[in-house]
Amino acid sequence: MIISENKPMDEILGFLKNAEKVVLVGCNQCAATCKSGGEEEVLKMKEVLESEGKTVLGYIILDPACNLLKSKKDLKSLKSELADADAVLSLACGDGTQTIVKNLKKIPVYPANNTMFIGETKRVGEFEEACKACGECELGWTGGICPVTMCAKGLINGACGGAKNGKCEISKDNDCAWVMIYERLKDINQLDNLLEMRPMKDYSKQNNPRYLNLKEKQNQKSNAKA
C-alpha cells in the first residue's frame, strides 16, 4: 500500500492562490485507508476551502486514482465542472495525482498529499515502511525481512557493527535489520544464507522512470521458446 498524508493547509492554499473554482479528487484505496484522501477527507477539504472563499464545483472519489483508463472514464462524470474549474486538487498519492494530470491536459492539478512510502498497516492509523521497490527483491535469502528498507544504511552484507542492544546506530527507535534477519534465519534453520558474500546492489534496476509491459514480456518468452 502507498502511504500518504495531507500537506500543510498553508501549502495547499498557496497552490490555489490564483484559483477560485476548484474540483476535488480523492482515492478510495490507499489514501482512504491512510485517512488522507477518502470521501471523509475530501468533504473536510471542501469545507475548509469554502471557508477560505473558494468555490468547490464538485468532487469524485476514484477507485483507484492510479488506474489511467478507469480514472479517465470516471472523471467524465465531472466533465462540466472540470470545464469550468480553475484547478483540481488531488487527495491521492503522487502516483494517483500524476494519473489525474495525464487525464486532464488543460487544467492545473495540485497535490494535497505527501507520498511517504510503500508500507503496511500495523493497526488502525499506524503504518510502517516495508518496501523501496528496488527492482531486485532480496527477501528470498533474508528470511523475508528487507535489508534495503529496514537497514538505515541499506546494507546487503550486514551488519555494520554499530548496533547496540539490537537497535540501529542511526536511529535508536529502530531495531537493527540484520539482528532481525539473523533471528529470523535462525528460527527457520537458514543461517547458512549468511555465509555467502552477496554481490553489490545493482542500482541500475532503480533507474527512473521504470516500466513493465506484460505483453512485451510474454512476446519475449514466446520468441525464446520458438
How confident is the model over 26-39, as pLDDT tens digits?
999 999 999 999 99
Which pLDDT score, from 0 to 100, does residue 200 have? 86
Outline where the chain has alpha helix (H). 9-15, 30-33, 39-51, 68-75, 79-84, 94-103, 147-150, 177-187, 214-225
Q: What is the average pLDDT across 128-136?
A: 92
Which pLDDT score, from 0 to 100, does residue 2 have? 96
- Torsion over CA: 137, 138, 144, 148 (sign): negative
Q: What are the tens digits of pLDDT across the range 153-169?
A: 999 998 898 999 999 99
- Rounded Cα gap, residues 12 and 59, in angstroms: 17
Instruction: Please report, for the chain, the start and end positions of each structural domain, with discontinuous segments joined by +.
Output: 2-117, 132-211
Q: What is the average pLDDT across 9-34?
A: 98
Q: Is the pLDDT of residue 223 over 90?
A: no
The rounded mean pLDDT for the chain is 94
- The CATH topology of domain 2-117 is Rossmann fold (3.40.50)
Q: Which pairing describes strands 87-90 and 109-111: parallel, antiparallel, or unpaired?
A: parallel
Q: What is the average pLDDT across 120-128?
A: 90
Contact call for residues 34 and 27 (beta carbons, < 8 A)? no
- Rounded Cα gap, residues 96 and 91, in angstroms: 9
- Rounded Cα gap, residues 163 and 169, in angstroms: 5
- Rounded Cα gap, residues 162 and 179, in angstroms: 11
Query: Residue 217: which residues within 8 A CB-CB, separation 6 or more?
Result: none
Q: Is the pLDDT of residue 217 over 90?
A: no
- Rounded Cα gap, residues 16 and 87, in angstroms: 7
6-15, 29-38, 99-108, 119-128, range with the lowest pLDDT: 119-128
- Rounded Cα gap, residues 168 and 199, in angstroms: 23
Grid cell at residue 79: 466533465
Q: What are the tens digits of pLDDT across the range 201-214?
A: 887 877 778 787 88
Which pLDDT score, from 0 to 100, does residue 131 have? 94
Please state, in angstroms and as integers, the Cα–Cα distance from residue 3 to each residue in 31, 111, 187, 201, following that order. 7, 14, 30, 25
Contact call for residues 110 and 90 (beta carbons, < 8 A)? yes
Which pLDDT score, from 0 to 100, does residue 226 have? 67
Q: Is the pLDDT of residue 220 over 90?
A: no
Which pLDDT score, from 0 to 100, does residue 206 have? 75
